[in-house]
């Protein structure tokens, strides 16, 4: 029974029952643990039934009785044939609980009870519940909003949806973009000051959108790098690190060259007497040098060009204004700070104006694009109508050209029609000649196709059965591998100080003891048979002897008085012997009954009858107290 209990406890743990580690037998199960085990098994077997029953016993006795009756009814609905009631769970005995748990474990699905890869405990139960809930939601058909019930409104409603609004996130990274280790300062910032990802967005609803945006940006960056590497990097015959370093060096050289050209122009302008360099000239020189070296501008440069082309004069005035107000080196620090603040405010105002102008231009551009699409649609419709009218015009023109010589044209047309009819008849006869063999070939090919289709369907069913057998074999192999791993683990946990010879000697001793017991049992059975034969022979001999003695003494008892007394003593002796034999047989029967009663007493002691009676008495007192409290509440109300 210990091995059976261990198997049951392992299966219950796989179903999600929290069985303590020190519990290794069903006799250690408490009432609460029994109820939890049965409820978890029912939830795995039939979630709709087990989900409506709580696995925690309430403190009230009436609620406990209801849970016990619900569990008994659920087990009987599954097909349990034994006697079952609330007392089985509340005042349980070990054999009854063992039979019930064996029945429930046998009813468990194979994947839930024997799958070693499935997580055990509450985590596995949670995963299965989530999968069942998602499957139930996916099975529901879509219903229009006006026809949705409250349950469908909760499942298919849009009140939980949020607008897609992404915000920048900072993630902890071990390497920078070049693949090198990050600096210690950045590591310290990550460890001490960086907020968790869930706390970085301003609203919790923006977290999913921000993560998706960040993931998409990283994915697009990786894809751009892969496309560039496949198109240009592989052609350069360099490694990835060398190609990156070469590209980084090229960019640095281009920037340095631009800065060098700009500084040379500025130095040449400063050396010229009477020349003054302002911010606008410096920007123009930098932009001009950039246009000479860079053929492909960025998005910022394109936007800058577009803005400067729209309002060149305004930009010049805006940039010249603050340039004239640059502080000189002779002014004190406070004046410099005030001028810089004024300059910053002025530039901010100009920037706001530029932004407003950009928005206005964007709105105008959208309006113009909309009107352009409308004009394109109208132009396409006009072209289609003009093509139709041209076709009609050509047909009418041909008809008008044929009107002056109508009779000749009609005769020609009639001849063309007749020749066309003859040609159609000729083509029909030719088609019939070709059609008959084609139809016959089509029928043969159809029969061949049907035969091949039947053959393919038969082979498909064979392949499907073979796949099923392979899958079943794989599952069986997986189960046996899990069993092999368990046996290896148990073998490793066994003490290694005992040698194989000791186990072999012990097995041989057990086999020898069994042989001795069999020999003793055989000897006892043979002695019993011999004794029974001897008893039967003695009983028959006694009956025959008594019959002969009774007949002889009865003949002499008619003539002699002393013989008559001897006959009476003989009858009394025979009767006393029979009573003695009956007494011995009754003694043997009583001894057997005593042994049966002792076995029943042992079984009853295993059922914990006394403890169950004490529980029943305590529950009875608790019910009386609950009834009294309910009566007092009823009277008060």
Residues 53 and 123 in one domain: yes
Which string of DSSP letters, residue by residue, matches 160-204? T-------------SB-TTSPBPPHHHHHHHHHTPPPGGGSSSSG
Cβ atoms 19, 36 nearer than 8 A: no
Query: Given this model, what pLDDT does residue 397 score?
Result: 82
289-310 average pLDDT score: 44
At which of 338, 361, 394 does a domain end?
394
Report which of residues 283 and 474 the model is more confident about.
474
Residues 67 and 91 in one domain: yes
- pLDDT tier, 590 (very low <50, low <70, confident <90, very high otherwise): very high
554-574 average pLDDT score: 78
Report which of residues 348 and 297 the model is more confident about.
348
Would the pLDDT of 303 be above 70?
no
**CB neighbour class for 89 (10 Å; exposed up to 12, middle 13-18, buried from 19):** buried
45-59 average pLDDT score: 77
Query: Given this model, what pLDDT does residue 307 score?
Result: 43
**CB neighbour class for 43 (10 Å; exposed up to 12, middle 13-18, buried from 19):** buried
Residues 373 and 410 in one domain: no
Query: Given this model, what pLDDT does residue 312 score?
Result: 41
Residues 438 and 543 in one domain: no
38-65 average pLDDT score: 79
Query: Given this model, what pLDDT does residue 302 score?
Result: 45
- pLDDT tier, 159 (very low <50, low <70, confident <90, very high otherwise): low
What distances in angstroms separate CA 388 from CA 377, 393, 398, 399, 582, one per listed residue? 17, 9, 16, 17, 128
Which string of DSSP letters, residue by residue, matches 233-290? ITTTT--HHHHHHHHHHHHHHHHHHHHHHHHHHHHHHHHSTT----HHHHHHHHHHHH
Task: Tally the domains of the chain.
Answer: 4
Cβ atoms 64, 57 nearer than 8 A: yes
* 145 DSSP assignment: G
Cβ atoms 119, 130 nearer than 8 A: no
Percent of the chain with pLDDT over 70: 81
Residues 82 and 26 in one domain: yes
Q: In whole numbers, what is the pLDDT of the chain averaged over residues?
A: 77
Residues 511 and 481 in one domain: no
At which of 394, 423, 458 does a domain end?
394
Query: Given this model, what pLDDT does residue 354 score?
Result: 86
Query: Given this model, what pLDDT does residue 445 score?
Result: 92
Would the pLDDT of 1 be above 80?
no
Whether 519 is in a domain gets the answer: yes
Quick: pLDDT tens for 446-464.
999 898 888 888 888 888 8
Residues 416 and 471 in one domain: yes
Question: For the chain, percent helix, then strand, then coil, each to nearest 5?
Answer: 80, 0, 20
375-400 average pLDDT score: 87
Nearest to 156 by CA among 142, 169, 167, 170: 142
538-552 average pLDDT score: 83
Residues 521 and 596 in one domain: yes
499-524 average pLDDT score: 82
Query: Given this model, what pLDDT does residue 285 score?
Result: 52
At which of 370, 394, 418 does a domain end?
394
Residues 562 and 487 in one domain: no
How many other C-beta atoms can be found within 10 angstroms of the C-beta atom of residue 29?
23
Residues 465 and 573 in one domain: no
Residues 103 and 19 in one domain: yes
Within 13 Å of residue 38, how many CA atoms lie on the same side as its CB? Answer: 35
Residues 8 and 123 in one domain: yes
Query: Given this model, what pLDDT does residue 281 score?
Result: 54
Nearest to 163 by CA among 203, 218, 216, 214: 203
Cα separation, 100 vs 68, in Å, equals 14
Report which of residues 221 and 493 the model is more confident about.
221
Cα separation, 146 vs 153, in Å, equals 10
Domain that residue 18 falls in: 2-143
């Amino acid at each position: 029974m210990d091995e059976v209990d261990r198997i049951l406890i392992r299966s219950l743990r796989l179903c999600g029952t929290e069985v303590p580690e020190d519990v290794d037998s069903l006799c250690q199960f408490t009432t609460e643990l029994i109820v939890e085990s049965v409820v978890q098994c029912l939830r795995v077997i039939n979630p709709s039934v087990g989900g409506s029953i709580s696995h925690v016993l309430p403190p009230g006795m009436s609620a406990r009785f209801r849970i016990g009756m619900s569990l008994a009814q659920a087990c009987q609905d599954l097909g349990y044939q034994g006697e079952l009631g609330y007392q089985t769970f509340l005042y349980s005995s070990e054999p009854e609980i063992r039979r019930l748990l064996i029945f429930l474990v046998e009813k468990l699905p194979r994947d839930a009870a024997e799958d070693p890869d499935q997580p055990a405990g509450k985590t596995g139960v949670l995963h299965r519940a989530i999968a069942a809930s998602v499957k139930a939601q996916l099975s529901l058909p879509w219903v229009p909003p006006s026809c949705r019930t409250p349950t469908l409104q909760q499942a298919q409603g849009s009140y939980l949806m949020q607008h897609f609004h992404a915000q920048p996130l900072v993630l902890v990274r071990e390497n920078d973009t070049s693949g090198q280790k990050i600096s210690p300062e950045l590591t310290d910032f990550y460890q001490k000051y960086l907020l968790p990802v869930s706390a970085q967005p301003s609203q919790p609803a923006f977290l999913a959108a921000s993560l998706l945006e960040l993931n998409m940006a990283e994915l697009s960056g990786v894809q751009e790098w892969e496309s560039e590497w496949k198109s240009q990097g592989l052609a350069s015959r360099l490694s990835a690190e060398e190609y990156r370093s070469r590209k980084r060096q090229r960019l640095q050289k281009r920037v340095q060259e631009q800065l060098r050209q700009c500084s040379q122009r500025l130095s040449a302008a400063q050396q010229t007497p009477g020349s003054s360099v302002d911010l606008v000239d410096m920007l123009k020189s930098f932009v001009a040098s950039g246009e000479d070296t860079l053929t492909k501008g960025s998005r910022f440069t394109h936007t800058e060009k577009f803005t400067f082309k729209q309002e060149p004069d305004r930009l010049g005035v805006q940039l010249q204004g603050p340039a004239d107000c640059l502080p000189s080196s002779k002014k004190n620090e406070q004046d410099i700070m005030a001028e810089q603040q004024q300059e910053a405010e002025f530039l901010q105002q100009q920037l706001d104006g530029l932004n407003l102008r950009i928005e206005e231009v964007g709105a105008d551009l959208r309006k113009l694009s909309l009107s352009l699409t409308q004009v394109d649609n109208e132009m396409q419709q006009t072209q289609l109508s003009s093509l139709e009218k041209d076709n009609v015009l050509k047909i009418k023109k041909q008809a008008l050209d044929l009107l002056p010589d109508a009779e000749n044209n009609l005769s020609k047309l009639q001849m063309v029609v007749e020749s066309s009819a003859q040609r159609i008849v000729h083509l029909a006869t030719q088609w019939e000649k070709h059609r008959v063999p084609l139809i016959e070939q089509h029928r043969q090919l159809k029969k061949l196709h049907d035969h091949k289709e039947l053959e393919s369907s038969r082979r498909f069913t064979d392949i499907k059965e073979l796949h099923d057998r392979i899958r079943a074999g794989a599952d069986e192999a997986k189960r046996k591998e899990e069993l092999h791993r368990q046996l290896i683990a148990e073998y490793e946990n066994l003490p290694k100080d005992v040698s194989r010879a000791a186990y072999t000697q012990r097995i041989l001793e057990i086999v020898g003891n069994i042989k001795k017991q069999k020999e003793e049992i055989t000897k006892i059975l043979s002695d019993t048979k011999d004794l029974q034969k001897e008893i039967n022979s003695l009983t028959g001999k006694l009956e025959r002897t008594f019959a002969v003695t009774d007949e002889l003494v009865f003949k002499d008892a008619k003539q002699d008085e002393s013989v008559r007394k001897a006959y009476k003593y003989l009858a009394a002796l025979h009767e006393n012997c029979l009573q003695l034999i009956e007494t011995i047989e009754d003694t043997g029967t009583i001894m057997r009954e005593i042994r049966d009663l002792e076995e029943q007493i042992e079984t009853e002691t295993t059922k914990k009858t006394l403890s169950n009676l004490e529980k029943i008495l305590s529950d009875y007192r608790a019910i009386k107290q609950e009834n009294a409290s309910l009566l007092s509440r009823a009277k008060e109300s």
